[in-house]
């Protein structure tokens, strides 16, 4: 409530208010933030209904005669001509035209605002200061903050900052405003800030993003912890982002955070979150591609969307922040670019899906991708879904290039897919994804891709229907060996057989051929290709002409030649081609 020491007539914009005489008590000038600008009606119809509401959020009464207000012109006027006490938790409304205000809001008490011309609908600043010139509060509002369509701009949390749009919103009250009483959007912040994303952006630099603006003084090295290295420095780089300087390159998978405070003082206890490393080549693969989605509005099935699936090959968390995709460059070297990256994390050995979103969905569970693939675990923590907000990703049905780049432009994975990678018996690939058979075999090998046999046409966000599990590491083998699995295998069930080899020394050239039981060569997988000491090939059960071979026993002959010594290493291993039983 407002208490006066004597009867005073306050005049402003043709209106007058006679305030009753009540007892008074002394009150010191308010500290900064003790009284806040709590509500602004800057674009009413008619414009004479403009008002500003002040709120005493302190525990001490405030003398309004010690306060002055102004708009962006900074022509300050006194809030009260003589002593008037604003009690703790009380509101006071300053109206441009008190007669018009009372007609619009008859239940609210109001004070006239002498010298107030008009607030700008395109944005303005409302100032509140003490008579000695010390700033008490100021709100630099813009139309994007809210307050249009004859509704006031309401403060959400009286204790939160006055200069951030997130602390203001349009009134939802039936009258369009709440002068003299609690705001309809009142929602004090009682939760501490949460770290939501942490990324290693350089060898000894990490950036941490919080859920809300944080207090700069709480961002210090001791608030953060990483196993294996120390935090040399910490600073607030934006309202919600802290930059950490590390003493050495970290090996930790998670970052610890504690003691960070938000702008209203809420304190974070202990929290941990993944530390995301920027992906490097071979840490991420392109695992599945749907370039010809089914899109028939009359087939009683949800329309599909173009998507590309990623798969992590590392035990670290990987950052998808700033990720972008390019296609085949034109003759001038310019490629179309689709920027999909956001502050998301690809889990260790997990999956990511880059998908078109013709419905402009932002939540994976409500996207067209989820409707087309209802069994896909798109909401799982281990799956990162990046929606494009576009009807297409730009994949072409006659083949094309999908090239994945991280935020700094470095290329981390690519595939030049072709329609003939689909199973030979598939007449129309529409609605069927290309699935990679082995995550470790050559991405450009046609034998390493085939049509998805999944009922929905693909398996976004989960293991491929024809995928083989990652092999064990054979790079440290001391003797030459050849291993084929699965055997028996079938194209329908397994897609292909994996042929893994390890050699005593690094060869110069290798050749790999498949022979039938009569000793006839049916397929050449590699012919004079330079490789390392270990590697992997896949055979999809077809001959050199692309025809499926008969059921039976076959032999893999692997030959490695060292050019300097002329030494030839031959390895043989049987493999059985089978058919699944109906």
Taking only the tens place, the pLDDT of each residue in 138-177 is 999 999 999 988 999 999 999 988 998 989 999 999 999 9
**Contact of 321 with 276, CB cutoff 8 Å:** yes
Instruction: Give me Rg for the CA atoms of the chain.
Output: 34
499 has which bridge partners?
Answer: 484, 537
pLDDT of residue 515: 95
For the record, the structure tokens of 491 come out as 């194209």
pLDDT of residue 300: 85
pLDDT of residue 17: 35
Using DSSP, state whether 206 is helix, strand or coil: strand
Nearest to 217 by CA among 236, 232, 200, 201: 236
**Contact of 384 with 300, CB cutoff 8 Å:** no
pLDDT of residue 469: 63
pLDDT of residue 310: 97
pLDDT of residue 13: 31
128-141 burial, b at 16+ Cβ within 10 Å, e below that, comes to bbbeeeeebbbbeb
pLDDT of residue 468: 67
Regions of the chain short of the pLDDT cut 70 = 1-27, 114-116, 425, 467-479, 506-508, 530-531, 563-566, 581-582
CB atoms within 10 A of CB 354: 26
pTM: 0.72
pLDDT of residue 499: 92
DSSP element (H, E) containing 103: helix 98-104
pLDDT of residue 26: 58
CA–CA distance, 345 with 381 (Å, rounded to integer): 9
Strands across the sheet containing 77-78: 77-78, 67-70, 126-130, 135-139
Using DSSP, state whether 380 is helix, strand or coil: coil
- Concatenate the DSSP letters of all residues of 222-271 into one string: GGEEBTTB-EEEEEEEETTEEEEEESS----SEEEEE--BBTT--B--EE
Q: Using a CB cutoff of 8 Å and minimum separation of 24, what contacts does 229-238 make?
A: 232/204, 237/207
CA–CA distance, 541 with 547 (Å, rounded to integer): 8
DSSP element (H, E) containing 9: strand 8-12
pLDDT for 402-451, tens place per residue?
A: 999 999 999 999 999 999 999 876 788 999 999 998 898 899 999 899 88
pLDDT of residue 47: 85
């Amino acid at each position: 409530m407002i208490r006066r020491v004597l009867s005073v007539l306050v005049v402003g914009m043709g209106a007058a208010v006679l305030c009753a005489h009540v007892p008074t008590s002394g009150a010191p000038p308010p500290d900064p933030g003790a009284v806040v600008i709590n509500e602004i009606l800057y674009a009413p119809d008619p414009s004479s209904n403009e008002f500003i509401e002040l709120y005493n959020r302190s525990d001490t009464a405030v003398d309004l005669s010690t306060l002055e207000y102004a708009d962006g012109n900074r022509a300050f006027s006194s809030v009260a001509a003589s002593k008037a006490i604003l009690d703790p938790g009380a509101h006071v409304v300053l109206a441009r035209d008190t007669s018009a205000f009372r007609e619009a809001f008859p239940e609210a008490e109001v004070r006239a605002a002498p010298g107030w011309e008009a607030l700008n609908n395109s944005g303005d600043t409302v100032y509140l200061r003490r008579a000695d010139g010390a700033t008490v509060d100021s709100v630099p509002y813009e139309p994007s903050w809210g307050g249009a369509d004859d509704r006031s701009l309401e403060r959400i949390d009286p204790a939160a900052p006055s200069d951030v749009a997130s602390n203001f919103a349009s009134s939802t009250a039936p009258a369009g405003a709440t002068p003299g009483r609690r705001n309809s959007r009142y929602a004090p912040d009682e939760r501490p800030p949460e770290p939501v994303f942490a990324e290693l952006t350089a060898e000894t630099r990490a950036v941490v993003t919080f859920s809300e603006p944080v207090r700069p003084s709480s961002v210090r090295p001791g608030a953060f912890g990483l196993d294996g290295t120390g935090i040399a420095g910490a600073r607030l780089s934006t309202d919600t982002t802290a930059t950490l300087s590390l003493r050495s390159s970290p090996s930790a998978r998670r970052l610890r955070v504690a003691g960070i405070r938000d702008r209203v003082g809420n304190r974070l206890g202990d929290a941990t979150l993944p530390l995301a490393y920027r992906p490097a080549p071979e840490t991420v693969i392109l695992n599945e591609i749907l370039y010809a989605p089914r899109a028939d509005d009359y087939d009683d099935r949800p329309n599909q969307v173009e998507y590309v699936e990623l798969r992590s090959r590392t035990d670290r968390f990987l950052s998808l922040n700033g990720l972008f995709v390019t296609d085949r460059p034109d003759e001038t070297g310019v490629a179309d670019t689709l920027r999909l990256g956001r502050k998301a994390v690809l889990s260790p050995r997990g999956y990511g899906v880059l998908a078109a979103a013709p419905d402009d969905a932002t939540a994976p569970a409500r996207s067209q991708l989820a409707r087309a693939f209802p069994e896909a675990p798109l909401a799982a923590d281990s799956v990162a879904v990046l929606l494009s907000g576009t009807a297409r990703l730009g994949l072409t049905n006659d083949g094309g290039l999908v090239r994945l780049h991280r935020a700094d432009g470095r290329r981390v994975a690519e595939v030049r897919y072709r329609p003939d990678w689909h199973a030979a018996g598939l007449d129309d690939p529409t609605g069927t994804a290309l699935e990679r058979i082995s995550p470790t075999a050559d991405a450009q090998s046609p034998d390493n891709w085939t049509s998805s046999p999944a009922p929905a046409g693909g398996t976004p966000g989960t293991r491929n229907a024809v995928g083989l599990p990652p092999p064990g590491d054979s790079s440290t083998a001391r003797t030459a060996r050849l291993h084929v699995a699965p055997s028996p295998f079938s194209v329908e069930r397994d897609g292909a057989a994996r042929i893994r080899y390890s050699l005593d020394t690094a060869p110069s050239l290798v050749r790999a051929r498949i022979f039938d039981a009569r000793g006839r060569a049916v397929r050449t997988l590699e012919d004079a290709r330079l490789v390392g000491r270990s590697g992997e090939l896949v055979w999809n059960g077809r001959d050199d002409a692309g025809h499926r071979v008969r059921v039976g026993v076959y032999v893999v002959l692997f030959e490695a030649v060292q050019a300097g010594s002329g030494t030839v290493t031959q390895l043989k291993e049987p493999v059985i081609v089978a058919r699944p039983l109906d």
